[in-house]
Amino acid sequence: MYMVYYLWQFRNALKRGLVFRSATFVTVLNNIIFGLVRAAVLIGLYTQVGDSIKNGFSINQVIAYTAVSQALIGPLNFWGNWEFAQSIQSGQIATDLSKPASLYLTSMARTLGRAAYELLFSSIPVLLSFAALFSIKGPTSWQGWVVFLVSVLLAILISFHWSFLLNCICFWTQDIAGFGDVAYYAVLLLSGLLVPIAFFPDWLQALSSWSPFPWMLNYPAELFTGRADNVAAWPVLLRQATWVLVLSIGCRWFLALGLRRMVIQGG
Amino acid sequence: MVILTKLSWYIRMFGVLQSANLRSRLQYPASFTAEVAIAFFGNLTGFAAVWILVHSFRSIGGYSLVELALLYGVVTTSFAAAQLLFGGFDSLDRMIREGSFDRLLIRPLSPFFQVIASTLRTQRFGRLLEGIFVLSLGILGVAPGWSLSQWVLLLSALLGGICLFGGIMIAAASLTFVAPGVDPGVAGMFGYATAHLSRYPLSIFDERIRGLFTYVVPVGLTQYLPVSTLLNQGTADSLALPITVVAPLSGGIFLLIAGLFWRWAIQHYQSAGG
């Protein structure tokens, strides 16, 4: 149903990225610089202890983890996307509701289009820069690449649903900047962006793996580094798919609840 | 003399303008408190990352957790204070894009002053409080029986850090004038990246990074050197005095160079017209 419309939204979002090329350049540069800082700290620590493997990561694997996690910031839209909340605030949502297409699927199509753009124009340059500077290896077999890419797609879907849930809060509060900030810091730490989850104390590892956050970043990044060869890939994909399912039910329910409550101003 | 009177006038005006900014924020006390609290707890994730690494690696560059808290606290407090003083540069790109920067140029006041006094971000108080909180943990953890010279050393590290991070912000913002095509988003990240890196003892990095952050961006001299001298109780007193001078001096020189760069770069400003 309305498949053509969603495809059109997807394509438009993808093309919109091309308009803001200098913004992409900044994102790429930013992600590379922070990646280099993170890598420098980890290299220093590995050199200090003299262990070749720490918490299941070799030094090259931990650099690969850093590179791929910095590369995924763009497609995961980690710093938040408040487009939907803004449409609630501005009343634009009334126009969107008058269209026969689903708000939820339209939003998803746009997010995926944006993510596709970011994968091509920010993830690949970041990864290539790190590949040029360090000896990092991706998955060694084509099956490994397929598993990694499926995992990234699931991660993007988890991130989209999480962000959509946050946006829905706007039905109740008018402004979600505070919620957005809290979510930002939670994601920052618990997704494994600052430090891989494998370095966490056991209890914090257990706690975070029951949240959706590490399934957005840490586990897909581990699949890339090959560390996850000891951790089987299927359970990771299964857990990610479960999160997508749970969060999508939550989103639809939350959206229906919010729409019932919403009052459109003006006439 | 004239310069001194002018300077003290500018400092007084800065206080007047920023306290007006602050009062306007305080008109919504609940929102202000919430923003500061969220930024405080949120920024603690940065220290959580240090704590997680210590958990895995036992120590970092020979520093224990409390010693790292001292370094982290000095860096974060200086960085947040510099952001409060020079944070107006964050909106420079918007000013230039919207053309409001032109308005600053026709006023009989230094544009530099007008930019830094233009904005006050509530979240920065949260980061400042977080820095002070972690710094206090560090001081309580290592300090029993600090001599006067050690307290002076701590102050000199904070002063040097504020100058250094302020200099980075000024230099990065000046790039906007020289290379108009470059998105000013670039400007902000150098400060953050430097602040992030200098949370860790400089000794863990390889010599290229150590060189860069000692001779080019002397964060090693303003932050790491005084803190490591502080922690090295035995040698502290003989070395304390020269290092007390080195930290603010190197930060001050960096700030001065950044200021000169700003003066040179602003000559290259071209208005979008209109």
Mean pLDDT of B243-259: 92
CB contact under 8 A, B55 and A200: yes
Chain A / chain B CB contacts < 8 angstroms: 90
Query: In chain A, what residues touch B197 (CB-CB under 8 Å)?
Result: 37, 40-41
| Per-residue pLDDT reduced to its tens digit, A139-160 | 888 888 999 999 999 999 999 9
Amino acid in position A184: Y
> CB distance from B56 to chain A under 8 Å?
yes
Residue A264 makes CB contacts below 8 A (sequence gap 6+) with A91, A93, A94
CB contact under 8 A, B200 and A25: no
- Of A130-134, B64-68, B233-237, which gets the smallest average pLDDT? B233-237
| Per-residue pLDDT reduced to its tens digit, B4-53 | 898 899 899 999 999 998 999 899 898 899 999 999 999 999 999 999 99
Residue B184 has pLDDT above 70, yes or no: no
CB contact under 8 A, B200 and A44: yes
Strand partners, B60: B63
| Per-residue pLDDT reduced to its tens digit, B84-117 | 998 888 778 778 877 888 888 888 888 889 888 8
| Per-residue pLDDT reduced to its tens digit, A165-182 | 999 998 888 778 888 888
| Per-residue pLDDT reduced to its tens digit, B142-166 | 876 788 888 888 999 999 999 999 9
ipTM above 0.90, yes or no: no
* Residue B189 contacts residue A34 (beta carbons within 8 Å): yes
Residue A245 makes CB contacts below 8 A (sequence gap 6+) with none
Say what the pLDDT of residue A267 is: 46
Q: What does pTM read for this prediction?
A: 0.90
pLDDT tens, residue order, chain A (267 aa):
688 999 999 999 999 888 877 778 888 988 999 999 999 999 999 988 877 788 888 899 999 999 999 999 999 988 778 888 888 888 888 888 888 889 999 999 999 999 999 999 999 999 999 999 998 888 888 888 999 999 999 999 999 999 999 999 988 887 788 888 889 999 999 999 999 999 999 999 999 989 999 999 999 999 999 775 556 788 899 999 999 999 999 999 999 999 888 777 654
Structure tokens at B216: 């080019």
> CB distance from B25 to chain A under 8 Å?
no
> CB distance from B209 to chain A under 8 Å?
yes
What are the angstrom distances between the C-alpha of B210 and each of A16, A137, B198, B218, B273? 41, 27, 10, 10, 44
- Of A104-108, B219-223, B228-232, which gets the smallest average pLDDT? B228-232
Say what the pLDDT of residue B36 is: 93
Q: Which of A41, A175, A176 to mutate to test binding with chain B, by most B CBs within 10 Å of its CB?
A: A41
> CB distance from B146 to chain A under 8 Å?
no
DSSP chain B: -HHHHHHHHHHHHHHHHHHHHHHHHTTSHHHHHHHHHHHHHHHHHHHHHHHHHHHHHSSBTTB-HHHHHHHHHHHHHHHHHHHHHHGGGGGHHHHHHHTHHHHHHTSSS-HHHHHHTS---HHHHHHHHHHHHHHHHHHHHH-TT--HHHHHHHHHHHHHHHHHHHHHHHHHHHHHHH-TTS-THHHHHHHHHHHHHTTS-GGGS-HHHHHIIIIISTHIIIIIHHHHHHH-HHHHHHHHHHHHHHHHHHHHHHHHHHHHHHHHHHTT------
Say what the pLDDT of residue A243 is: 97
